């Protein structure tokens, strides 16, 4: 076996190795956190749709994402109900209200879903429970999301507070999560929605949900809907509307740019740290490397030795970086009450590992020049 020169050089200086590993781990953690936020953004965008009981969605072409909708006529929904394969159509009304915390009396924006209480709009069986169903039918009453931020105040049933200058009673709770767009959510009946958003006409809806009969071909029905309905509504299947929301959050808002920039900056930090370590190592071993050249080793050998050192640093730094990132993800998940669905994904883990190796190799390429030009005649 070849003498593992790169490995032995690295482990010889224990302190320097630890600093290098800490530096790489730091960069890895920064990258993981940025990608984690970016990933949770995409996941949060899709989360609400997995909670909605429909396969095909009708939206206005001017709708950006679920909390920024442009209302369209409910007639489109009635037209959709006539297509073969459609079991049921359900309107969904959305909007923001000013919620007053009953204890601190501070106002905060809360996101509201207005539904027809007779429609099974949400998958969650909790919302269909007799108590919640009864509460939904009471005037000026709404259900509150348990995952709403604590700043919204107590969530116990019967709590009375003021929402947009109108009294509201909490009639029950459910678990949904607001994602990036909302700190907290409410569900209320369309009649109550009409009261709170006065003068909101119920014949204009934010989102049309189309539930298909069991066994119906989603693509086929969607194509038929597109053919039948005028162009003032978009017909989207669930994967399509999720993709549309992701594209909006990541591409159109600055969120994607911010986290993407975060990843780049983290990589630069990593490159600089590894470069420093490799450069010091090369400077310390200049005489030895030049001696190897005098003995008959080619520059190529020294080049690969430095690259090996870089890859070893990458892998050694990645391991603690990965472990700490898992902990930080858990911490973030708890800090947001599960509202930010941040979590490790296999693809991301592999990508960051490759990125780390690439980052360290880049440092190697920058620092290796010194050893390539090392003149063996200089050691005499």
d(CA 31, CA 28): 5
Q: Judged by CB under 8 A, which stretch of 4-12, 86-94, 145-153, 202-210 contacts another protein? A: 4-12
Nearer to another protein, 219 or 375 (CB): 375
Residues in Cβ contact with 125 at an 8 Å cutoff, skipping those fewer than 6 apart = none
Cis peptide preceding 183, ω within 30 of 0: no
Shortest CB 292 distance to another protein, Å? 7
Nearer to another protein, 291 or 332 (CB): 291
Nearer to another protein, 1 or 346 (CB): 1
Q: 9-48 mask for another protein (x: CB under 8 A)?
A: x-xx------------------------------------
Of the candidates 74, 265, 344, 379, which one interacts with another protein according to CB under 8 A? Answer: 379
Of the candidates 2, 14, 165, 227, which one interacts with another protein according to CB under 8 A? Answer: 2
Task: Write the CA distances from 335 to 110, 148, 152, 180, integer angstroms.
Answer: 19, 12, 15, 14
Q: Judged by CB under 8 A, which stretch of 170-178, 204-212, 330-338, 372-380 contacts another protein? A: 372-380
What is the Cα gyration radius of the chain? 29
Q: Phi then psi for 188, rounded to 5 degrees? A: -140, 165
Shortest CB 379 distance to another protein, Å? 6
Count, residues near another protein per rule CB under 8 A: 25
Shortest CB 363 distance to another protein, Å? 20
- Torsion of Cα atoms, 260 then 261 then 266 then 270, to 10°: 100
Closest CA to 107 of 152, 154, 140, 166: 152
Shortest CB 310 distance to another protein, Å? 17
Shortest CB 365 distance to another protein, Å? 21
Q: Phi then psi for 71, rounded to 5 degrees? A: -70, 150
Positions 184 through 243 that interact with another protein (CB under 8 A): none
Nearer to another protein, 307 or 355 (CB): 307
d(CA 226, CA 168): 40
Positions 292 through 311 that interact with another protein (CB under 8 A): 292-298
Q: Judged by CB under 8 A, which stretch of 161-169, 179-187, 234-242, 369-377 contacts another protein? A: 369-377
Shortest CB 298 distance to another protein, Å? 6
Max CA separation in the chain (angstroms): 95
Shortest CB 288 distance to another protein, Å? 5
Shortest CB 12 distance to another protein, Å? 3
Shortest CB 256 distance to another protein, Å? 45
**Over the range 74-104, which residues count as b (16 or more CB within 10 Å of their CB) and which as e?**
bebbebbeebebbeebbbbbbbebebbbeee
Residues in Cβ contact with 73 at an 8 Å cutoff, skipping those fewer than 6 apart = 203, 204, 205, 232
Q: 267-296 mask for another protein (x: CB under 8 A)?
A: ------------------x-xx-xxxxxxx
Closest CA to 318 of 24, 34, 35, 32: 24
Residues in Cβ contact with 196 at an 8 Å cutoff, skipping those fewer than 6 apart = 97, 112, 163, 164, 166, 168, 188
DSSP-based helix, strand, coil % in the chain, nearest 5: 55, 20, 25
Residues in Cβ contact with 252 at an 8 Å cutoff, skipping those fewer than 6 apart = 64
Nearer to another protein, 9 or 34 (CB): 9
d(CA 157, CA 106): 20
Positions 128 through 187 that interact with another protein (CB under 8 A): none
User: Is residue 84 close enough to count as binding another protein by CB under 8 A?
Assistant: no
Shortest CB 362 distance to another protein, Å? 24
d(CA 309, CA 361): 9
Nearer to another protein, 230 or 380 (CB): 380
Binding site for another protein (CB under 8 A): 1-3, 5, 8-9, 11-12, 285, 287-288, 290-298, 375-377, 379-380
């Amino acid at each position: 076996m070849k003498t593992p020169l790169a490995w032995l050089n690295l482990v010889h200086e224990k302190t320097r190795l630890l600093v290098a590993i800490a530096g790489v781990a730091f960069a890895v953690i920064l990258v993981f956190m940025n990608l984690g936020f970016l990933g949770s953004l995409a996941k949060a965008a899709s989360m609400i749709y997995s909670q909605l009981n429909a396969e095909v969605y009708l939206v206005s072409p001017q709708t950006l994402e679920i909390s920024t909708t442009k209302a369209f006529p409910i007639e489109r929904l009635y037209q959709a109900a006539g297509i073969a394969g459609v079991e049921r159509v359900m309107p969904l009304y959305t909007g923001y209200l000013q919620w007053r915390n009953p204890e601190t009396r501070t106002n905060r924006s809360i996101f509201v879903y207005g539904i027809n209480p007779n429609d099974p709009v949400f998958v969650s069986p909790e919302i269909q429970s007799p108590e919640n169903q009864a509460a939904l039918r009471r005037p000026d009453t709404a259900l509150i999301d348990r995952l709403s931020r604590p700043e919204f105040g107590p969530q116990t049933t019967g709590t009375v507070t003021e929402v947009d200058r109108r009294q509201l009673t909490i009639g029950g709770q459910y678990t949904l999560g607001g994602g990036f767009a909302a700190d907290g959510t409410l569900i209320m009946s369309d009649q109550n929605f009409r009261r709170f958003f006065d003068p909101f006409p119920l014949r204009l809806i934010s989102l049309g949900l189309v539930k298909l009969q069991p066994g119906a071909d989603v693509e086929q029905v969607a194509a038929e809907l597109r053919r039948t309905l005028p162009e003032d509504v978009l017909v989207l299947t669930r994967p399509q509307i999720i993709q549309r929301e992701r594209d909006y959050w990541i591409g159109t808002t600055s969120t994607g740019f911010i986290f993407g920039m975060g990843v780049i900056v983290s990589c630069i930090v990593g490159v600089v740290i590894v470069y420093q370590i490799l450069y010091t190592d090369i400077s310390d071993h200049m005489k030895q490397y030049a001696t190897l050249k005098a003995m008959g080793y080619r520059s190529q050998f020294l080049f690969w030795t430095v690259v090996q050192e870089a890859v070893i640093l990458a892998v050694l730094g990645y391991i603690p970086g990965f472990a700490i990132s898992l902990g930080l993800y858990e911490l973030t998940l708890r800090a947001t009450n599960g509202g930010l669905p941040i979590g490790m994904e296999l693809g991301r883990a592999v990508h960051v590992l490759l990125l780390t190796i690439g980052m360290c190799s880049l440092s190697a390429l920058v620092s290796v020049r010194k050893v390539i030009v090392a003149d063996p005649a200089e050691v005499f």
